[in-house]
Amino acid sequence: MVDVVRGPLRRAGVLGVVGGLVAALTVGGGAVGESVPRLGLRPLWSDPDSLAHAQLAAYETAGRTDLADALRPLAQAPTATWFTGDAPRERARALTTAAAAAGELPVLVAYDVPGRDCGSFSAGGAADDDAYLAWIRDLAAGIGDRPAVVVLEPDAVAFAVTGCSGVDRRDRLGLLRRAVEVLAALPGTHVYVDAGHAGWVQDLPALATALRAAGIDRAAGFALNVSNFQPTDVTVAYGRKLSHLLGGAHFVVDTSRNGAGAPVATGRDEDWCNPPGRRIGRLPTTLTGEDVVDAWLWVKRPGESDGSCRPGEPAAGEWFEGYALALVGV
């Protein structure tokens, strides 16, 4: 199954919420409360200062209406904001304050665990466990009591299951559990512990065990497909199996670049690092129509590079204009 985006961009979640409320009132005598998504009725936050917005503005200023029209669905869709390194408190405070003022729900990604990305293109992270927990507390202080979703440490649990040189599995999972405890204690924060993607860990009992050790019992659930390309139907089927092993845990799915499905696997980094032929997927919303899926999210910001995977490609997180245009079919 291939996910595609059709029609004009809508404010994520708003039309779905209205339709859901109407359905609850008119179909089968259901109560209004049944239609309210688990993350609430706020639309997801669309960052006006994103690199995609800047590119859209540049196209409009230059009179490139063809490119502006093509890029607009990508640029205006709500996307997550990644937090890596440096003191995150003020940035998190500014972001969540702006989102709260707009009546929107921001998605933050905590990505600073020691040994991050197993030394690959996004290598880095805090110097040690103490530094990491201080960083998490700083992030939490910035979020405060304002509403937020936090996707915790993409790839960290999956690497603990499959193995990563220099990373102690028990220490990694215990550290994540302590991070969950700090963030989940915030009154308005929903924490989703990253669990990799459907093409990675196939030993689901082992993954479930690792997620328990990482504090899934304190979290709102787990996250799947972050920065990856697995089709949504495949991901939901995988997530349901994992959810069953975790007693019905909910999850969110990154649909930012899975509109054409996953590339053919070759066993090389290029399989997941700026692979050609990909497309944006379902627009972000908290109205998924799936009982255990809390949201389709754009956790990866489409158009920002996965890394310098090939000669001339930008570093991880930098704007990649050609790739962004390819994602929208230009």
Q: Average pLDDT, stretch 80-101?
A: 96
pLDDT classification of 268: cutoffs 50, 70, 90: confident
pLDDT classification of 119: cutoffs 50, 70, 90: confident
Catalytic entry in 47, 112, 117, 155 = 117
Please give the helix or strand (H or E) that residue 182 lies within, else none: helix 169-184
pLDDT digits (tens, 9 = 90+) for 134-145: 999 999 999 999
Backbone angles phi, psi at 59, to 5 degrees: -65, -45
Beta bridge partners of 189: 148
Task: Report pLDDT for 35.
Answer: 64
Task: Report pLDDT for 271.
Answer: 82
- SS3 for 32-101 is HHHHCCCCCCCCECCCCCCHHHHHHHHHHHCCCHHHHHHHHHHHHCCCCEEECCCCCHHHHHHHHHHHHH
Task: Report pLDDT for 265.
Answer: 83
| Mean of per-residue pLDDT scores for the chain | 89
Q: Say whether 291 is catalytic.
A: no
* DSSP secondary structure letter of residue 269: G
Task: Report pLDDT for 163.
Answer: 94
Task: Report pLDDT for 15.
Answer: 35
Task: Report pLDDT for 9.
Answer: 37
Q: Of residues 122 and 106, which shows the higher confidence score?
A: 106
Q: Average pLDDT, stretch 260-288?
A: 91
pLDDT digits (tens, 9 = 90+) for 214-243: 999 999 999 999 999 999 999 999 999 999
Q: Average pLDDT, stretch 301-312?
A: 93
**Residue type for 14, please?**
V
Task: Report pLDDT for 7.
Answer: 33
* DSSP secondary structure letter of residue 178: H
pLDDT digits (tens, 9 = 90+) for 73-82: 999 999 999 9
Q: Considering only 15-29, 38-52, 86-100, which range has the smallest mean pLDDT?
A: 15-29
Question: What domains are there in the chain, each with its CATH number?
Answer: 43-327 (3.20.20.40)
DSSP 91-153: HHHHHHHHHHHTT-B-EEEE---TTBGGGSTT-B--SSHHHHHHHHHHHHHHHTTS-EEEEE-
Task: Report pLDDT for 293.
Answer: 98
Task: Report pLDDT for 309.
Answer: 87
194 and 156 Cβ atoms separated by less than 8 Å: yes
Q: Of residues 36 and 55, which shows the higher confidence score?
A: 55
154 and 197 Cβ atoms separated by less than 8 Å: no
Q: What percent of the chain has pLDDT over 70?
A: 89
Distance CA 289, CA 293 (A): 8
CB neighbours of residue 213 within 10 Å: 17
Task: Please list, in sequence order, all residues whose beta carbon lies within 8 angstroms of the beta carbon of residue 38, skipping any fewer than 6 positions away.
Answer: 220, 250, 286, 294
Task: Report pLDDT for 120.
Answer: 80
Task: Report pLDDT for 25.
Answer: 28
pLDDT digits (tens, 9 = 90+) for 151-194: 999 999 999 999 998 899 999 999 999 999 999 999 999 999 99
